[in-house]
Structure 1
Amino acid sequence: MATVIQPVVMCGGSGTRLWPLSRKALPKQFAPLIDGKSLLELTLDRLKLLNAEVTCIGSDDHRFMLDEAMVNCKVTGREILEPVGRGTAAAVAMAALLAEPDAMLLLAPADHYIADPKLFASTVAQGVDAALAGYIVTFGVAPSFPSTGYGYIEPGRVLDESKGASAGRTVAEFHEKPTADDAQRMLLRGDMLWNAGILLARADTLIEALENCAPDILASCRQAMQSGSTDGNFFRPERKAFESCRIDSIDYAVLEKYERIAVVPFAGAWSDVGSWSAVAAMHPADEDGNRLSGKAVALSSKNTFVHAPLRPVVALGTEDLVIIDTQDALLVASIHCLEQVKDVVGLLTAAGRTEATEHRRVARPWGAYDSIDAGERFQVKRLTVKPGAKLSLQMHHHRAEHWVVVKGTAMVTRDEETILLRENESVYIPLGVVHRLENPGKTMLEVIEVQSGGYLGEDDIVRFDDTYGRVTQLKKVSGK
């Protein structure tokens, strides 16, 4: 009987190297990058070739984006919601503790790109025997250039001579990100592998390894899981116990210390999508080395990457540039300065610019809102509400709202009234009135919202009822 593999996707992290597309409120794993799909969605599509029952581990702040990605990819399973980030060691510990002891877990980051999903699935299958024998199996990528941005794995002896190295070898040593000279030497050796950070192991093997190498992390996670709570598909570890867990990666906490680690080589294209140059490499180049995405155009240009999903962006006479266009921010950078993108985010954050951390379009469990325009004492938003979804029953102390339906049908609660609005109809919500907007139809509802008042911040909301468990009566909370 074939071993059932249970995929676990680690969805934490909020890197800044892909700003302005990736931001704290929309980390790179949730941002649409390839053919309108996010890296998380591509990961889920890849993993469901092994099993459509998937466990995802991510931030509580991103729970609804995580849930939406799972629905879009037609996968089911549990979602472990971290109250704070504690690194991959804690994520692996929680996944192992939640699973049955003999469960075969495949732990994969949500933000990697693998061009050949079928080759990946067959490579994972090659590691099952080693994992059943009590090894933690990692997957090493055959390097295509002397990268200084990846860690390396030095393979040891072959585990099964009858099957050869493809079935796995021991790990002789993990090497940190090398210098350029060391990376060149590793490439010339011919057997060194990039560390892809993907693991295959039985749950009880992982727990044993954590007990031996990081018992404090395991203890904190065990307490957090035992005292946690379940809300539908969401599992929330107990906050105080989880906060007591030290921050560490599974590599440092376990893999570099544990004796029974094996590596299986993966021969396909792989990237951790850690920079805009990595994103550019995922797009085909024209004869001048230009790589274009969306509505981008290049003329008399060389080695230029343009990401333009929303409007035409023309690169004219450019060379060695990266141009990233979003609704509210534009990045134009030399390909030689892309490592400094994170410094730009730091400067914008210090200046108090919301564009450093938030997009103009903000996802909500019921849909999204897009801040179209704003000025003194007014703000205009475009609300999109999913079929059957509804906003919280709420009230504002400092603003009034005017809703105009431009697409679909809206059901509006206004104090004791219930009003049905169709396209081109509108309603006024005075300051202090308890109200709610919902979509009773089967198509997307689009509403233009005009806010007016002395304070228009998203924290001016008192919620009295909410489908998504966000009620905080008589307290100000963030978001619609």
Structure 2
Amino acid sequence: MAQKIVPVIMAGGRGTRLWPLSRASAPKQFIQFVGDRTLFQATLTRVSNPTLYEAPIIVTNEDFRFLVAEQARELGVTLAATLLEPVARNTAAAVAAAAAFVMERSGEDTVLQLLASDHEIAADESYFDAIRIACETALAGKLVTFGIQPTEPATGYGYIEAGGKLPTGAHAVKRFVEKPVLPDAEKMLASGGFYWNSGIFMFTAGQVMREMETFAPDVASAAQDAVREASSDLDFIRLDAKAFAKSPDISIDYAIMEKTGNAAVVPSSFTWSDLGSWDAVWKLGARDEAGNVASGNTTLLDTKNSLVMSRTCHLAVQGLENVAVIASEDAVYVGRLEDSQNVGRIVKRLAAAKATSALTETHPTSYRPWGGYTSVLNGDRFQVKRLFVLPGKKLSLQKHHHRSEHWICVKGTAEVTIGEEVKTVRENESVYIPQGEVHRLANPGKILLEMIEVQTGSYLGEDDIIRIVDEFGRS
């Protein structure tokens, strides 16, 4: 295939369908569920063949920008650009912005592949065969989507009915079908010619923009203006907030795919899942002889066909069948696997109560451009955190008005600035930061630095930080 494809990876979603591991501030694309990589990293790996792909473009938001950069760095992947959406506007605006950006850089004939960052896909020979058919079809002026051969009458996916076959091997799209009820899904499966809508698309930048201008002109103009008025920030490109906010909040399916006469589908047999429920995670996992998928600190006895995952305490599950038991650092979910599509209902209940709303928003582990921290223990006028600082990275030079801090080094070597003094803190050594004192923590070494931080004071919120110098542009 002569022309390379520019991957556009959508990584700004905040879904909580895999609660309690996924939260608004820690969505599933950046979490490791199966294998040794996060879903976002697995997506980067699928588009890493330099003979087939150009460097990827990531579309995400302010909160996830350093997660994107760090997880790409871990893989040694160079990103062509990271576009930051100032407000959430669904996939139509994101696609239009990426297309406008690419057209400015490399022309309207550039082929784009739109990918979600949170899908699990087996990138086998059939997958890359589908990619090549889709590319040829896109170059012929079509807007291509990938239709997955159904393996069951799933009601959690939209469907595509395929029409006549095109010269490239793709098919014209006869119609899109919203998520069906079970009897309708069974009928479609029995009749044949229906495919799951994977949410993977391919088209040239110019063609998708022309379709946007025809069927969703407000989306097109808002995206073009947002790109034209964009600004650079470190390695990120900030889309103009005022322009981008004018875009309607609609999906690419609704904006153009369901309206255009140029839609095509590539029937595909590769393994695909949007990992939209714990049931889907169980189906993809490595099951033992009793049909269980288990990870982390777990012991199972007389338990069958269940998913048991722990990121913290030891889970002992006995005498149950077809259940999901998921433990994060601060919450445990227990439910029937068959009901796991409805986790959103309990998340809404938790979000509505003041005492539990934080469980749906924030995760005990927060990532920063320098590494991150995990909340270990919170009490009245104190809290304990585990800090982890990447090799060569440093926190901002900062001070706090309402708290003092004690740092204990448990792994690696720390360089600590306190006022005018810079000292080295080694494993099993500690240092005290008085309230109001200017200070900084850095990792000058080659391995991960781990510190235990004990904060004491009248106010311990993350907003009690006065940044004086910050290499990440946050001061």
Which residue of structure 1 aligns with residue 24 of structure 2?
24
1:42-96 CA deviation, whole Å, 9 max, x = no partner?
Answer: 1111121342611110111110111112112222121111111100001110110
Which residue of structure 2 aligns with residue 138 of structure 1?
145
Whole-Å Cα distance in 1 between the matches of residues 200 and 347 of structure 2? 29
Which residue of structure 1 aligns with residue 326 of structure 2?
324
Higher mean C-alpha deviation, range 302-311 or range 30-39: 302-311
- The answer to whether the 8 Å contact 1:139/1:197 transfers is yes
Distance 1:386 1:52, change over 3 A: farther
Which residue of structure 1 aligns with residue 228 of structure 2?
226
Distance 1:299 1:52, change over 3 A: farther
Which residue of structure 2 aligns with residue 153 of structure 1?
160
How far residue 386 of structure 1 moved from its aligned partner, in angstroms, is 0.5
- Note if 1:359 corresponds to 2:363: yes
Structure-to-structure mapping, 1:234-313, within 5 angstroms = 234-313=236-315
How far residue 253 of structure 1 moved from its aligned partner, in angstroms, is 0.4
Whole-Å Cα distance in 2 between the matches of residues 260 and 334 of structure 1? 42
Higher mean C-alpha deviation, range 81-90 or range 65-74: 65-74
- The answer to whether the 8 Å contact 2:297/2:310 transfers is yes
Equivalent position to 2:398, from 394, 397, 400 = 394
- The answer to whether the 8 Å contact 2:234/2:472 transfers is no
Whole-Å Cα distance in 1 between the matches of residues 264 and 404 of structure 2? 62
Whole-Å Cα distance in 1 between the matches of residues 303 and 243 of structure 2? 55
How far residue 179 of structure 1 moved from its aligned partner, in angstroms, is 1.5
1:356-380 CA deviation, whole Å, 9 max, x = no partner?
Answer: 2111111111111111112111111
- The answer to whether the 8 Å contact 2:412/2:445 transfers is yes
Which residue of structure 2 aligns with residue 477 of structure 1?
none
Whole-Å Cα distance in 2 between the matches of residues 235 and 297 of structure 1? 47
Whole-Å Cα distance in 2 between the matches of residues 341 and 211 of structure 1? 38
How far residue 117 of structure 1 moved from its aligned partner, in angstroms, is 4.2
1:251-309 CA deviation, whole Å, 9 max, x = no partner?
Answer: 00000011111111111111111111011111133333322223333211122111124
Provide the TM-score with structure 1 as the length reference. Answer: 0.94
> What amino acid is aligned across from residue 132 of structure 2 in structure 1?
A
- Note if 1:124 corresponds to 2:126: no
Whole-Å Cα distance in 2 between the matches of residues 113 and 279 of structure 1? 9
> What amino acid is aligned across from residue 292 of structure 1 in structure 2?
A
Secondary structure of 2:462's counterpart equals: coil
Which residue of structure 1 aligns with residue 438 of structure 2?
434
Equivalent position to 1:92, from 88, 95, 112 = 95
Secondary structure of 1:23's counterpart equals: coil
Structure-to-structure mapping, 1:401-420, within 5 angstroms = 401-420=405-424
Higher mean C-alpha deviation, range 415-424 or range 364-373: 415-424
Runs of 5+ consecutive residues of structure 2 not aligned to the other structure? none
Whole-Å Cα distance in 1 between the matches of residues 274 and 338 of structure 2? 19
Which residue of structure 2 aligns with residue 478 of structure 1?
none
Secondary structure of 1:204's counterpart equals: helix
How far residue 311 of structure 1 moved from its aligned partner, in angstroms, is 4.6
Whole-Å Cα distance in 2 between the matches of residues 70 and 117 of structure 1? 22
Which residue of structure 2 aligns with residue 196 of structure 1?
198
Whole-Å Cα distance in 1 between the matches of residues 430 and 327 of structure 2? 34
- The answer to whether the 8 Å contact 2:408/2:430 transfers is yes
What is the percentage of aligned positions where both structures have the same residue?
A: 46
1:232-260 CA deviation, whole Å, 9 max, x = no partner?
Answer: 43111011111121100000000001111
1:129-172 CA deviation, whole Å, 9 max, x = no partner?
Answer: 21111101111000001111111111111111xx6xxx201111
- The answer to whether the 8 Å contact 1:21/1:326 transfers is yes
Runs of 5+ consecutive residues of structure 1 not aligned to the other structure? 472-480
1:161-207 CA deviation, whole Å, 9 max, x = no partner?
Answer: xx6xxx20111111111111111110011211111011111100111
How far residue 122 of structure 1 moved from its aligned partner, in angstroms, is 2.4
> What amino acid is aligned across from residue 14 of structure 2 in structure 1?
S
Whole-Å Cα distance in 2 between the matches of residues 15 and 110 of structure 1? 12
Whole-Å Cα distance in 2 between the matches of residues 440 and 12 of structure 1? 32
Distance 1:355 1:443, change over 3 A: same
Secondary structure of 1:48's counterpart equals: coil
Distance 1:284 1:427, change over 3 A: closer
- Note if 1:46 corresponds to 2:46: yes
Secondary structure of 1:284's counterpart equals: coil
> What amino acid is aligned across from residue 414 of structure 1 in structure 2?
I
Whole-Å Cα distance in 2 between the matches of residues 299 and 293 of structure 1? 15
- The answer to whether the 8 Å contact 2:4/2:54 transfers is no
Higher mean C-alpha deviation, range 245-254 or range 368-377: 368-377
Whole-Å Cα distance in 2 between the matches of residues 286 and 399 of structure 1? 50
1:308-363 CA deviation, whole Å, 9 max, x = no partner?
Answer: 24453222111121100111111111223323321222222222332221111111
- The answer to whether the 8 Å contact 2:116/2:199 transfers is yes
Secondary structure of 2:363's counterpart equals: coil
- The answer to whether the 8 Å contact 1:141/1:267 transfers is yes
Aligned length: 466
Whole-Å Cα distance in 2 between the matches of residues 270 and 95 of structure 1? 24
- The answer to whether the 8 Å contact 2:164/2:171 transfers is yes
Higher mean C-alpha deviation, range 291-300 or range 437-446: 291-300
Whole-Å Cα distance in 2 between the matches of residues 455 and 310 of structure 1? 27
Higher mean C-alpha deviation, range 413-422 or range 146-155: 413-422
Whole-Å Cα distance in 2 between the matches of residues 2 and 199 of structure 1? 19
- The answer to whether the 8 Å contact 1:283/1:293 transfers is no
Whole-Å Cα distance in 2 between the matches of residues 34 and 335 of structure 1? 17
Higher mean C-alpha deviation, range 368-377 or range 214-223: 368-377
Which residue of structure 2 aligns with residue 343 of structure 1?
345
Higher mean C-alpha deviation, range 65-74 or range 396-405: 65-74
Provide the TM-score with structure 2 as the length reference. Answer: 0.95
Higher mean C-alpha deviation, range 46-55 or range 30-39: 46-55
